[in-house]
């Protein structure tokens, strides 16, 4: 019933994912959400994010940020990280994911997505046929509409965790 909302993998943080193992499995592109996935909501790029993207490029990955935010939020982050980007991605529509793969020159079969929300990020990745990795949100304080979505996500994640055990 909730299969299209279940991630393929789940990690505590974008910074704890064993990216080398995904490269060895044949993944060549990574699409990233921004807010609460790479940095706190409305915050600038961190040294940790810069180091991660440098590491990913050294491994051999193409990287692209896809966000529902407007370009003034996304472009400066992407420029600092040296990443391609898609703004106003309209997640959970597959459109932004497809655009991101086009920017990277990858396909759904060799692209993974990393994001922190089920109803936008993971569902969109699934709709685009992309391997979906869920990470826990960086910040604990979020806007009210996100807090409400997190309560619904808790229900879906509980079913997901039961299924996996």
CB 5 within 8 A of CB 119: yes
Q: What pLDDT shows up at residue 155? A: 63
What the chain holds in terms of domains, given with CATH numbers, is 3-164 (3.40.50.1000)
Q: What pLDDT shows up at residue 105? A: 98
Answering whether pTM is above 0.85, one says yes
Residue pointed to by tokens 């079913």? 159
CB 4 within 8 A of CB 123: yes
Q: What is the mean pLDDT of each run of 10 residues along the chain (165 residues)?
A: 85 98 98 95 94 98 97 97 97 98 98 94 97 90 59 69 70
CB 37 within 8 A of CB 116: yes
All residues at 6 or more sequence positions from 42 whose CB lies less than 8 Å from its CB, including other chains: 35, 73
Q: What pLDDT shows up at residue 132? A: 98
CB 92 within 8 A of CB 124: yes
Helix, strand, or coil (residue 77): helix
Q: What pLDDT shows up at residue 157? A: 72
């Amino acid at each position: 019933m909730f299969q299209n909302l279940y991630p393929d993998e789940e990690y505590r943080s974008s910074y704890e994912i064993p990216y080398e193992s995904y490269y060895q499995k044949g993944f060549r592109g990574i699409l990233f959400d921004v807010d609460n996935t790479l940095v706190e909501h409305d915050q600038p790029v961190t040294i940790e994010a810069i180091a991660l993207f440098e590491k990913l490029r050294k491994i051999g990955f193409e990287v692209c940020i896809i966000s529902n935010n407007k370009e003034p939020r996304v472009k400066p982050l992407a420029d600092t990280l040296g990443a391609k980007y898609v703004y106003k991605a309209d997640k959970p529509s597959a459109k932004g994911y497809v655009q991101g793969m086009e920017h990277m020159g990858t396909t759904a079969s060799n692209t993974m997505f990393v994001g922190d929300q089920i109803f936008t990020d993971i569902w969109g990745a699934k709709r685009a046929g992309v391997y979906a990795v869920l990470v826990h949100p960086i910040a604990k304080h979020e806007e009210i509409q996100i807090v409400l979505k997190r309560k619904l996500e808790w229900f879906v994640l509980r079913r997901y965790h039961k299924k996996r055990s």
